[in-house]
Amino acid sequence: MQLVCLDYGMLYADIGMEETRIDRPVLSADGLTVSATIRMGAREHSLYFRTRQPVLAPNTEAFLAAALLPSMKCGYPIAVNAGISKRMLEGISTIQDIHHCWRPSMAKVEIRGASPVEKPAATMPKVGSFFSCGIDSSYTLLKNRDVISDLVMIHGFSVDIDNSARWRMLSEAAERVAGAFGKRVIYVETNLKAYLKEYISWRDLGFGAMLATVAHLLSPHLSTIYFPASDSNDMLEHFSSHPLTDPLWGTESLEIIHDGCEASRLSKTKAIARNDVLRDNIHVCLRTKDTRFNCGRCQKCIRTMLSLEMAGAFGSCKAFDTPLTPRLVAALIIADNETARHYLREIMLAMKADGSRRFTGLRLAIGWVLNRPVWLSRLILATNQIGRKMIGR
């Protein structure tokens, strides 16, 4: 079989090459659901996005954003056979360069059948921001409250689509925040996460692809949308939501802003702590099957509780009902999670710099967690996992 080399360095077979095909997106009769099928070689993935308000616009750009990173992982060229924003096509070329540089196993792929077009300006130039009641999205809302008009909540992002109880609690919290800030909440439900996780790491690559996909479906209703930053400038990792790549997903009618890199997680939490509504509706919990809003025992809960204590606001925060004690902190197991280690170290150093004796017990407990041998942490985590399986949890 003859191989041909394209100008950006990838080898393709001129016949029989597997590819990704994106079907034409379809809007339901009630205007609330957009769906399309993405074919990865011989496999089909039927994706849907559903809202409570008629704000979705079916467009191939959205599904191209969904399919790009999985296709790079598989080395499949993408067939779209549709008009695609000229600016987005140029951005995707750079996005591929960046991800290939970060992870050489991610192949740069050809976008086939794309006709470059100039997208018309947004008919309703509103400004949105993705929102989850977490630290990053709450900080972005607080910082940009004068320009943001809509908060976008995705069911199927941090909360699985079959977890209706947790989603209900989170939606109620979002409505309380939106009411206090005078914003509207746009709810989007999607099964996109399951598709992405079949091909790429959700933590490293998947969540940014989902944000880009939903952003395009909300254009032209939104002319600008904020992607809250997960990391500060000194902690940037090669995630799919990144200040280098996020703006490149934009089009002539949609501006995407990666927001919040200038602030550390501790400084964000301190800023949120000064706002009663945001503070009392913080949701950070990793244990999505827990019946409480925040379990108060996972590493994200404990890190947030410690930061609120540093801000002098934990005692008045209604989002947590677990007492913060040195014993609770010392029981935390983080093993190889370098991000969690960084955040805990940041809190410990801030407590030491504060000099207050009321932080002594908590600071020593953090030190105990950070100094625990990694092999021991791994052993404890493995033992706990076996125990949970044995009791069916």
Domain regions of the chain by residue span: 3-50+58-117, 126-259, 285-390
Provide, rounded to the nearest whole percent, the portion of the chain with pLDDT above 70.
93
Tens of pLDDT, residue by residue over 148-204, are 999 999 999 999 999 999 999 999 999 999 999 999 999 999 999 999 999 999 989
Protein fold of 126-259: Rossmann fold (3.40.50)
What pLDDT sits at residue 387?
A: 67
Say how far apart CA 61 and CA 253 lie, in whole Å: 12
Q: What is the SS3 assignment for 242?
A: coil
* Average pLDDT score over residue span 136-148: 98
Q: What is the SS3 assignment for 11?
A: strand
Say how far apart CA 253 and CA 87 lie, in whole Å: 10
Where b means 16+ CB within 10 Å and e means fewer, 239-260 reads bbbbbebbebbbbebbbbbbbb
What pLDDT sits at residue 13?
A: 32
| Paired sense of beta strands 26-27 and 111-117, if any | unpaired
**Burial (0-12, 13-18, 19+ Cβ within 10 Å), 319:** buried
Tens of pLDDT, residue by residue over 29-62, are 999 999 999 999 999 999 999 999 999 999 999 9
- HSE-CB of 81 using CA atoms within 13 angstroms: 7
What pLDDT sits at residue 16?
A: 44
Residue 121 DSSP symbol = P
Say how far apart CA 119 and CA 88 lie, in whole Å: 10
What pLDDT sits at residue 393?
A: 54
Maximum mean pLDDT: which of 17-21, 218-222, 307-311:
307-311
Say how far apart CA 380 and CA 384 lie, in whole Å: 6
Residue 105 confidence class, pLDDT cut points 50, 70, 90 = very high
| Paired sense of beta strands 43-51 and 33-40, if any | antiparallel
- What's the whole-number average pLDDT of the chain? 91
What pLDDT sits at residue 391?
A: 63
Residue 389 confidence class, pLDDT cut points 50, 70, 90 = low
Structure tokens belonging to residue 334: 């983080």
What pLDDT sits at residue 10?
A: 41
| Paired sense of beta strands 222-228 and 126-130, if any | parallel
